[in-house]
Amino acid sequence: MNAPAKTEEFAVKIPDGVYAETVLSVEHFTDHLFRFRMTRPAGFRFRSGEFAMIGLMVGDKPIYRAYSIASPSWDEEIEIFSIKVPDGPLTSHLQAIKPGDTVLMRKKPTGTLVLDALTPGKRLYMFSTGTGIAPFASLIRDPETYEKFDEVILTHTCREVAELKYGFDLMEEIRNHEFLSEVVGTKLKHYPTVTRDAAFPYQGRITDLIDNGKLFTDLGVPPLDPVVDRGMICGSAAMLKDTKERLENAGLTEGANNKPSEFVIERAFVG
Ligand code: A2P
CATH architecture of the domain 115-265 equals: 3-Layer(aba) Sandwich (3.40)
For ligand 1, atom 22: residue with the closest CA: 239
Summarize pLDDT for 134-176 with one digit per residue, the tens. Answer: 999 999 999 999 999 999 999 999 999 999 999 999 999 999 9
Give the pLDDT of residue 4: 46
**pLDDT, tens digit, 9 for 90 and up, residues 176-214:** 999 999 999 999 999 999 999 998 999 999 999 999 999
Domains of the chain: which residue ranges? 18-106, 115-265
pLDDT tens, 230-270?
999 999 999 999 999 999 999 999 999 999 999 999 998 76
Homologous superfamily in CATH for domain 18-106? Translation factors (2.40.30.10)
pLDDT for res 203: 98
What are the DSSP E strand ranges found in the chain? 18-30, 33-39, 51-58, 61-68, 77-83, 102-106, 123-129, 151-158, 188-194, 229-235, 263-267
For ligand 1, whether the C-beta of 157 sits within 6 Å is yes
pLDDT value for 15: 80
Confidence of residue 2 (pLDDT cuts 50, 70, 90): very low
> What's the average model confidence in pLDDT over 74-86?
96
| Residue 10: per-residue pLDDT | 52
- Phi, psi (deg, nearest 5) at residue 22: -100, 130
* Cβ of residue 132 lying under 6 Å from some atom of ligand 1: no
Q: Which amino acid is at 208?
A: D
* Cα-to-centroid distance, 128 and ligand 1 (Å): 10
